[in-house]
Structure formats: structure tokens, C-alpha cells
Structure 1
């Protein structure tokens, strides 16, 4: 039974191997030992922080097979985008021009560099082994983050965002980057993405144009990328849309992938999940799948479990489920049906 848990430093070798298979464009994951080590240490400090307040914390989770110790996926939560370093996006909205003499008003779509999405909670770093795509474990790796937020709402913002990877081809070529970013950075898309992961987005303000980019003046191939989702990112997007996220007018700086947004307290796994008291009970293994988590912070655990009966005030779990959640009978469990 696989479980989602906070990352620890001993995960570093496996984590580095895992992220080598990530989708290009997931800039919060990069195959660099120093970067991943710092990300792990930052996450451990965040989980250990005693003050229940929203700040720059990063809560990094890994999907583990406890029997083998093998890692199969990961995801994280940045409590406050833009807290420690600027969080830049491109805002897609029309520029209105008009002439009273000719009685003409015309709207031209533009892209403008902005920090509008700062101070919101950012869901990022989603990656799962390809063999597990389309399974309940993919939902566990993404949605369990919301159960953690539901259990500790004071640590997160009232609004959540997530950047979905935009289109690039099999060779790593991004038509949008080629038409826009490469003119200002003189770097291939792959290198620019890596630089952003290692150094943050602060350098963008120094090199990106400060004036709006008129979309009709871009090559058609670049225009077609605005808001376009990479085929391999479709499942990650669909899971969040099912939760209540919706596309916005904002797109990613590098590949123009869409940014999703939602009010935190309107997300399905937050408003529909229920807390019950656990008790030891044999399960047939033929029941309905549920997403379950404990209510802890440092000892957070989440699993997918087949339950014969829907939880009410109490929920029956077998010994393997209790062990995976690191619970004793009588302790609280949060759950939502898949």
C-alpha cells in the first residue's frame, strides 16, 4: 500500500532519480543534487515550524511504497507564492484603443509581465511514475495536498493557484519561448527552464520587456501555444479542474501554459472531506476507493483505501490501513470518496 508522506533527507538519491523523468516545464523540480537537498531541508523546516501562520513555507510530499522504500511520485505546496522571491506571470488581456472622430473602438490582446498572483498558495512539483498515471494513486499524489490544507488552513492562503505545463515538442522545443523569451535571454527553452528552477524568477524582471506584447504580432505557432496544455500534463490539469480550479487570464512566462486558480474553501477535497474516528475493522478489498489522511502535520500520511462502508462519525480501517496512516484505533481520519 503506497502512502504520501513528507520528504526526508535520506530520500535524496531516489528523489533525484525520480525527477529525471519529470515533464519538461515543471520548473520546481530539477535534476540537481544541491537544489533538491535544499528543497528537502526547506520542507523539513516548514513541517517543523511551530507557528501556525502563512509564510514562505514549502511542504514537499513523496509517494512511497513502505514495503520497499521505493519512491513513485511527488508533489508540494508553496504556502505563499512571491513571499521569498518575485512570482512573475504573463497577464493575457486586451488593450483597448479608440477614436472618437472615426467612432472606432478596437481591442488588441496583449501579454504583460506582472506579479498579480503573489501571496496565493501554489500547488506545484507534481510528478508520478508513468505506470501509475490514470490510477487512483495519481489522484492521491495531487489531491492529498488539499487534505493537508484542510487540516491546517491557517498555514495557507484563501486562494490557490497551479501552473500547468504548456506545450513543447518531443525535442524540448517550445514555439512560444522561441517567439518571445529567446529574444531576450538568448537561451534554449531547456536551459531557461533550468535556470529558473535553480535561481528563481527574479532575473526575469531584468530581461523581459516591461511593455505589453501584442499577441497578433507573434508567429501563429506561438499564438497557438497561449493557454495550451502539454499532452502529458492533461491528467494533472483534469484532477485540479475536477477539484474546482478554473483557467485564468494568466499564463506561464516560459511556455504560456495556463494558470489555474480557485478559492481555497471552495475546493472539493476541502469542503467535502469529513473527519471521523477510526476503529479496527476487517475490509473485503472490494469496496469503494477513498482518499484518506491523518490530521497531523509533521507525521502527515495519506493513502487510497477500499472501504466496504462509507465513513460517518466513525470509519473502519484494517490493520494495513492504520499502519500506512501511522494511526492507532480511535485517532482521527479525514476522508473523501474518489
Structure 2
């Protein structure tokens, strides 16, 4: 596969058939893409308005990107500008409580889950999907990380300093979640897939209204539910690893539906953002010292990102004819670039 044949672009209302196909291939636990044409159409219309609006950002914006390979849509990813814009955004926070008895000289450290809305207002990465045949290529890196360049490029549209992403938790092929069965179903009287449909895809407030406000003692849950807390569904492994390498932390929060991990980071601490450069485009081909980079250009509605060879220059980019054509670059235009392979904190410290 030629990496320069990959193109990330904003989704539009005309992409409904492609999004329906993606939603149909998604599994239970990826609730942000419902298998409902009317809801998907509304999602696309909202995204299109978010990209095109010239008004001051309100936090209600929701952006959706599609990844093309040689003109064919092979994946999607999204950004919600402010988690819980209309309602509080709920999660369970992992905590440990210590109980002790002086008389018995015994202390016990108990794992508990506390319903919280700490992440309300954070920028939320959503809707990651890549076709299975592209999972072992560089396509997922572009699909996930180009969103970070978009946030960096249009920072005024994102008020939250923190970025979060919910990873799908453990569930089987029928959508049965051991955590939901042990906790949510006790109060909501619905199966996991039913609850997702009623809440229109992970709406926290509707679920949280019936959840207990007191801590949940993990040791009192059935063993399958205990084991599932913080565990990933197999489809979440790839996007999780990409975000983990970026510097997202994984231990504090879990989802109220299936207890999948919710990862959190500050934008300026992420590897792609720290390594990003803004360069001016010049004509000519990259030199022999060039390395593969993410390259992002354009305004919000015309945003494009691809992979291209970028030299070590700190001021200019010789984009090459193919990248220039794919992104519609003009001489003198500014682009954002970040290395395809970024160093982790451990690797930086060893240098």
C-alpha cells in the first residue's frame, strides 16, 4: 500500500451510505455509531455544521472524519468538542478505601467505584473504526492521530485542556456485558444493547439517573464483573495502543456501561502534539533525509491529512507532487506535520 494514497477528510451528508456500512460492521459497545439511518444522517448533518460554522465555538460541536484509501472509505473517527455539553458526562472513578479495626489489628484496602462527572467539558475522541484488512498498516495511525493535529490547528474550538477517550469493555457476540449485568441492569432493568439504544449511544445522564450514588464495592460483585473492570474488548486493542503510546493514562476512570477503560491526557503532553511543527510549503521533492510524517492542511471545512515524506527543515516543507495534489497544497501555505513514529517519554529519557 502506498501511504500517500490515504486521505483523512471531514464527513459530509453525502457519506451516509459509507457510514451505514461502517455502523453495520461495528460491534456492541461502540455505541456512538448507531445502526439507524436517521440517527446517522443527523450525526452527519451535525458534523457538517460543526466544520462549516463560523460562529464562536459553543462546545456543542461534534466532528466526524472519514479515511479514504485510493478514494474508498475504509474508516472513521470523531471528536466531541465538550463531553457532556447538554448533560453531565458520567464515569466511574477507581478509588481505594481503607477499613480497619484497632481491636482486631486488621486493616483492609477495598477497591471501590465512585460515580463522578470529573470529565465533563473534556474534549472526547470518539467513533474510531478501521476495516480489518487495514489494521496492520499505517492507516490506523493517520486515522487516530490526525485528530490531534486538528485539535492543535484549531485550538480555539476546544476549550477543555483535557482529552479523553472511552474504550469498549468486555462483552460477548450477543452484546452481553458482565459488568452491566451485575450493576447497570439491577437498576435499569434493560440489557446492555437495549440500554445503549435507549440512551442513543452512551448518553451518561440517562443511565446515571438510576445508578446508585454510593460507592460500589468491587469485592461484592460477581467474579466475571470484577475481572471485566478496566478490560478491553478485542476491537478496542488497536485504538487503545495508539493512544497509550501518545501518553494517555488508563487507571483512573471506567465506563458506566461496560467498565471499559476511559483514557485521559492533557493535549500539550501528547507525543504527536509535542513533536508537531508548522511549515510553509515550497515546490520540489523531499530530500534523501526525509522521513514519513502525518501532514495536515486546510481550514476546518477543507481539512485534509495524509502521510508524506518530510525533511528535517524547521521552516519549510517540500511536499512532493503526490502529497501536494492530494491535499490541494499551494506554495506558501502552512501545514502541520508530525512524525509517523514518535518517541515515548521513556525513549526520550534514554537519549
Normalised to the residue count of structure 2, the TM-score between the two structures is 0.89
CA contact (8 A) 2:98 2:109 kept: yes
CA contact (8 A) 1:243 1:267 kept: yes
Q: 1:1-338 to 2 correspondence within 5 Å?
A: 1-53=5-57, 55-65=59-69, 68=71, 70-102=72-104, 104-156=106-158, 157-198=160-201, 200-282=203-285, 288-307=291-310, 309-338=311-340
1: CA distance, partners of 2:334 / 2:56? 20
**Change over 3 Å in CA distance of 1:326–1:162 after alignment to 2:** same
**Structure 1 residue 165, shift from structure 2 partner:** 1.0
Computed over aligned residues only, the root mean square deviation of the Cα atoms, in angstroms, reads 2.1
- 1:175 Cα shift? 1.5
**Structure 1 portions without partners, runs of 5+:** none
CA distance in 2: counterparts of 1:202 and 1:259, whole angstroms: 17
Number of residue pairs matched?
335
TM score, norm. by length of structure 1: 0.92
Rounded to whole Å, the distance in 1 between the matches of 2:129 and 2:102 is 53
Change (3 A) 1:72 1:220: same
Distance 1:199 1:240, change over 3 A: closer
Distance 1:311 1:337, change over 3 A: farther
In structure 1, what is the Cα distance between the partners aligned to 2:80 and 2:185? 28
Question: Alpha carbons of 1:304 and 1:248: their partners in 2 closer, same or farther (altered >3 Å)?
Answer: same
Question: Alpha-carbon deviations, 1:92-126, whole Å to 9, x = none?
Answer: 21233344555544332111222111011111111
5+ long unaligned stretches in structure 2: 341-351
Cα distance change, pair 82–221 in 1 and its aligned pair in 2 (3 A): same
Which has the higher mean CA deviation after the structures are superposed, 20-29 or 90-99? 90-99
Supply the distance in 1 between the matched residues of 2:279 and 2:27 (Cα, whole angstroms). Answer: 37
Q: C-alpha separation between the residues in 2 aligned to 1:217 and 1:199?
A: 25
